[in-house]
Amino acid sequence: MVLLLVASAVSLVSAEETEADDDVEIDEETETEIEVMDISEGAEARLLQLQISIKKSLLNGYLIVDSFNAVYGDEVDTTDLENILYELEAVLEDVQAVDPSDENAAQYFVEYKQDAIDIVKSWRETAGALKQSLKGTDEWDSFVDLVKEGIKEIPNDEDVTALREEFKAVADLHNSKRLQTVAEYLGKDLDELITQIENGEITRAEINKQLKEVVSEMSLEEKKEAFGKLKAKKLQMQIRARNFIRDVEEGYRPRKMQRDVDRVPNIENIRNRRQNQASS
């Protein structure tokens, strides 16, 4: 039981990436994500994960638009798809501008993630309708083949690779700081393990194995004391996250409307930049 609570209280940031209505939909996954945002390293890790997810959606979106244009030319109007992608690109720039140490970083994360989810949903519906109208045309197979080839290259994109490397470094630092807290609660010297985590020299499975060995050597009284401290820490993180969610839900709609208004000039700048790149 103590070991399970240790793993829970450490709240390690996983290397998995998150995927991106007028009302905010804060699900259990998002609630868990914001628990680690009580320290700046956790906030930075989550913001980088969101950037990776949005960037991959943009690469996929522009690939499909370019494939439509390459195969169908002027027969297909991709203006609506491009406009949606400009909106998503503006959200990405908003995420990039967030200071992880800002006390409102978690709020920005939740709201920008929801914005991205809404925009991607709209894009998929619009793209899906266009695809449906083109299925069965002579050029359809060529379009599908072009998209399939392009998708293979997205994981190797230079920007995505750089973001992943930055995320891993931040996640390792975050996880080492979490373990420092656990070491204090256990009353054990875990400096060597903490250093290995910070340097990215150890896997999550190996971390759990070493923690299990440490806990197994503790007396029953030590385990009970550690259990109480770890349980209190986890509860504190959960309460903080739930209180935060309540605050985000209050006044969400007017804040969303204001974000949409504030983004208009930047969306126009992105549109001009993209169109200039296409014509050069």
Query: Under a CB-based contact definition with an 8 Å cutoff, are residues 109 and 43 in contact?
Result: yes
| Distance (Å) of CA 231 to CA 2, 237, 239, 262 | 9, 10, 12, 42
> What tens digit of pLDDT does each residue of 85-141 get?
999 999 999 999 999 999 999 999 999 999 999 999 999 999 999 999 999 999 999
Query: Under a CB-based contact definition with an 8 Å cutoff, are residues 122 and 84 in contact?
Result: yes
| Distance (Å) of CA 120 to CA 74, 115, 166, 258 | 25, 9, 24, 20
Q: Where do we find the tokens 């045309």?
A: 137
Say how many C-beta atoms besides its own lie within 10 A of residue 140's C-beta: 14
In Å, how far from its chain's centre is CA 278? 29
| Distance (Å) of CA 103 to CA 58, 98, 108, 161, 266 | 28, 10, 10, 28, 25
Q: Where do we find the tokens 């503006």?
A: 90
Among residues 62, 15, 52, the alpha carbon closest in space to that of 174 is found at: 15
SS3 136: coil
Query: Under a CB-based contact definition with an 8 Å cutoff, are residues 78 and 106 in contact?
Result: no
Q: Which residues of the chain have pLDDT under 50?
A: 1-10, 15-22
Residue type, 57: S
pLDDT of 74 reads 92
* CA pair distance 8, 89, nearest whole angstrom: 35
pLDDT of 91 reads 98
> What tens digit of pLDDT does each residue of 32-57 get?
888 889 899 999 999 999 999 999 99
**Can you list the positions of beta strands (E) in the chain?**
none
Whether pTM exceeds 0.85: yes
pLDDT of 140 reads 97
For residues 41, 43, 48, 53, the Cα torsion angle rounded to the nearest 10 degrees is 150
CB burial class (10 A; 0-12, 13-18, 19+) of residue 169? middle
Burial state string for 33-66 with b = 16 or more CB within 10 A and e = fewer than 16: bbbbbebbbbbbbbbbbbbbbbbbbbbbbbbbbe
How many degrees, rounded to 5, is the angle at CA 146 between CA 142 and CA 151? 150
* CA pair distance 35, 16, nearest whole angstrom: 16
